[in-house]
């Protein structure tokens, strides 16, 4: 007669652990959750750069919702707000947060500003603003589209006291980013108007008492020989192509800079600075 007694199976499980039955699924040890990364601020800032942001902060027409600063930038920023204007408390951020949030290659200097656009103006607003003035200069840019050039021209307009700048709406860069930084805060002090038809805009200014000069190498008179004073419009064209034919035809006169060969031309922003000095300085 066979012995029905079965020898118990040897328990090979480590001491302190229950034996695992054959066919039973193995239980994984609970994994420790990774520590949560700190939340980075969401930075949506159209303006950056110390001078651009500082002048926008001081401009009571700007509505500002956030100011982002690194510790280093905070040391050189003046937080005083215009009288009667409430400004938000600054948010201290890491430089890398700005690097990742702003356009690639932006030279932000550790500072950025979230704000509304400046109030839009038109050519009629510029005429009304200068109605009581005997001397006035307004700049018109004909298809000058590079934001570095436009920003530099706006900076020169602010430095020499021009009363406004006009660009064609279709081809003009926005007054943010690299343009505003290049202008070094000048966009807060020089009204910029966007118009659809520059030829018509020139005629409107002439009806408002302005004399229109087109800066062109075909001009017969040097700009330095012009009599200073009065109300003038200075129209500058894009590098290479210069003034378009219809725009040039609506100017009262074409003038040129007294450049000499072998380099007989200047960058449009440099030409604007020289011309502004000749007419105002």
Instruction: Tell me the per-residue pLDDT of 59-78, one tens digit each, with 9 for 90 and over.
Output: 999 999 999 999 999 999 99
Buried b (16+ CB within 10 A) or exposed e, 201-237: bbebbbebebebbbbbeebeeebeebeeeebbbbbbb
Confidence of residue 37 (pLDDT cuts 50, 70, 90): very low
Question: Do both 232 and 149 map to the same domain?
Answer: yes
Task: Classify residue 197: in a domain, yes or no.
Answer: yes
Question: Quick one: pLDDT at residue 39?
Answer: 53
Q: Quick: pLDDT tens for 212-242.
A: 999 998 888 999 999 889 999 999 999 878 8
Residue 245 has pLDDT above 90, yes or no: yes
Task: Classify residue 78: in a domain, yes or no.
Answer: yes
d(CA 152, CA 180): 9
Q: What is the biggest distance separating any 2 CA atoms in the chain, rounded to whole angstroms? A: 135
Question: Do both 93 and 136 map to the same domain?
Answer: no
Question: Do both 73 and 208 map to the same domain?
Answer: no
Task: Classify residue 31: in a domain, yes or no.
Answer: no
Domain end among 115, 136, 167:
115
Question: Do both 99 and 130 map to the same domain?
Answer: no
In the β-sheet with 136-142, what is the strand arrangement from edge to edge? 192-195, 164-168, 136-142, 231-237, 211-215, 253-256, 221-222
d(CA 29, CA 12): 19
Confidence of residue 38 (pLDDT cuts 50, 70, 90): very low
Domain end among 95, 115, 135:
115
Domain count within the chain: 2
Structure tokens at 275: 């011309």
Question: Do both 230 and 159 map to the same domain?
Answer: yes
Question: Do both 270 and 241 map to the same domain?
Answer: yes
Q: Quick: pLDDT tens for 132-178.
A: 999 999 999 999 999 999 999 999 999 999 999 999 998 799 999 99
Question: Do both 146 and 167 map to the same domain?
Answer: yes
**Domain span at 191:** 123-279
CATH assignment at residue 257: 3.40.1280.10
Question: Do both 106 and 220 map to the same domain?
Answer: no
Question: Quick one: pLDDT at residue 36?
Answer: 44
Coil, helix or strand at residue 274: helix
Domain end among 75, 90, 115:
115
Question: Do both 94 and 157 map to the same domain?
Answer: no
Coil, helix or strand at residue 223: helix
pTM: 0.83
Task: Classify residue 42: in a domain, yes or no.
Answer: no
């Amino acid at each position: 007669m066979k012995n029905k007694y079965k020898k118990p199976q040897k328990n090979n499980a480590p001491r302190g652990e229950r034996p695992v039955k054959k066919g039973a699924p193995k239980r994984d040890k609970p994994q420790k959750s990774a520590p949560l990364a700190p939340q980075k601020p969401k930075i949506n800032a159209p303006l950056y750069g110390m001078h651009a942001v500082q002048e926008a902060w001081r401009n009571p027409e700007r509505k500002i919702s956030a100011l982002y600063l690194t510790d280093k930038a905070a040391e050189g920023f003046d937080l005083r707000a215009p009288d009667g204007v409430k400004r938000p408390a600054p948010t201290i951020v890491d430089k890398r947060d700005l690097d990742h949030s702003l356009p690639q290659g932006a030279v932000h200097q550790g500072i950025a500003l979230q704000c509304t656009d400046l109030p839009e103006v038109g050519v009629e607003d510029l005429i009304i603003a200068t109605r009581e003035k005997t001397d006035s200069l307004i700049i018109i840019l004909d298809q000058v589209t590079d934001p570095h050039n436009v920003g530099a021209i706006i900076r020169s307009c602010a430095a020499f006291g021009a009363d406004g700048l006009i660009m064609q709406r279709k081809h003009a860069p926005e007054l943010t980013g690299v343009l505003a930084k290049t202008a070094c805060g000048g966009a807060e002090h020089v009204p910029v108007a966007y118009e659809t038809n520059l030829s018509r805009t020139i005629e409107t200014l002439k009806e408002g008492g302005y004399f229109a000069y087109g800066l062109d190498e075909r001009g017969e008179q040097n700009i330095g020989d012009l009599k200073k004073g009065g109300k003038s419009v200075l129209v500058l064209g894009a590098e290479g192509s210069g003034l378009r034919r219809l725009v040039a035809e609506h100017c009262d006169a074409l003038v040129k800079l007294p450049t000499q060969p072998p380099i007989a031309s200047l960058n449009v922003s440099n030409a604007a600075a020289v011309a502004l000095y000749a007419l105002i300085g």
